[in-house]
């Protein structure tokens, strides 16, 4: 029996362009997952909302985090 790797989630912040989300799913070994999270910023203090997350192994998600950060910086700079 094959041992299953532990999976983690990285919450995708609201406002991340769909093109970046699509690129991540195509380029990395991750799944797009739905999660319920308690939100506490602006006027949403304590509200529970459905959010999107990338789900994968820790090493892959570390790469994903760096990739998304670089892509967002490039997107903002345009």
CA 13 – CA 75 distance, rounded (Å): 14
Q: Which of 28, 15, 35 is nearest to 60 (CA)?
A: 28
pLDDT at site 28: 98
Q: What is the CA radius of gyration of the chain?
A: 14
Q: What is the pLDDT of residue 74?
A: 93
User: Residue 51: what pLDDT?
Assistant: 85
Quote the pTM value: 0.80
Q: Is 8 left (phi over 0), alpha (psi -120 to 50) or beta?
A: beta
Q: H/E element holding 60?
A: helix 58-77
Q: What is the mean pLDDT of each run of 10 residues along the chain (78 residues)?
A: 80 91 97 82 67 95 97 88
SS3 64: helix
């Amino acid at each position: 029996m094959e041992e299953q790797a532990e999976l983690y989630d990285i919450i995708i912040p609201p406002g991340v362009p769909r093109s970046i989300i699509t690129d991540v799913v195509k380029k990395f070994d991750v799944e797009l997952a739905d999660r319920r999270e308690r939100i506490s910023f602006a006027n949403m203090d304590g509200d529970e909302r459905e959010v999107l997350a990338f789900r994968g192994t820790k090493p892959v998600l570390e790469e994903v985090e760096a990739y998304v950060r670089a892509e967002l910086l490039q997107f903002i700079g345009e």
